[in-house]
Amino acid sequence: MENKTFEELMVELEGVLKKLENTNISLEEAVKGYTEGLELSKKCYEILTKNEELVVKKMTEAGLEDFKSEN
C-alpha cells in the first residue's frame, strides 16, 4: 500500500468487503480479507486524521474559532 490516495484505498476496502460478504469463501480467505480490510481502514483513518489536523491548523492560523472534536 504505497502512497495511494484516500479514494484509492476506499475502493480497495470496498472490494475486500464485497469478498467478505460472499458466503462461499473459506475461513482462511475470510481471515486474510479481514486482515487486509483492517490495514486499509487504518491507513484511511491515518489520512483522515492527518488532514483534520491540517484543517485545524489552517483555521487557527486564519484566526477562526478552534475546531471542536466530538471525541
Say if 35 falls within a structural domain: yes
Residue 46: half-sphere exposure toward Cβ, Cα within 13 Å: 10
Tens-digit pLDDT profile for residues 7-60? 999 999 999 999 999 889 999 999 999 999 999 999 999 999 999 999 988 988
Domain span at residue 20? Answer: 6-61
Cβ distance 30 to 20 under 8 Å? yes
Phi, then psi, of 44 in degrees rounded to 5: -60, -45
Write down the pLDDT at residue 68.
Answer: 60
Say if 13 falls within a structural domain: yes
User: What is the SS3 assignment for 59?
Assistant: helix
Say if 28 falls within a structural domain: yes
Say if 24 falls within a structural domain: yes
User: What is the SS3 assignment for 39?
Assistant: helix
Say if 66 falls within a structural domain: no
The number of distinct structural domains making up the chain is 1
Instruction: State how far the Cα of 4 lies from the Cα of 10, in Å rounded to an integer.
Output: 10
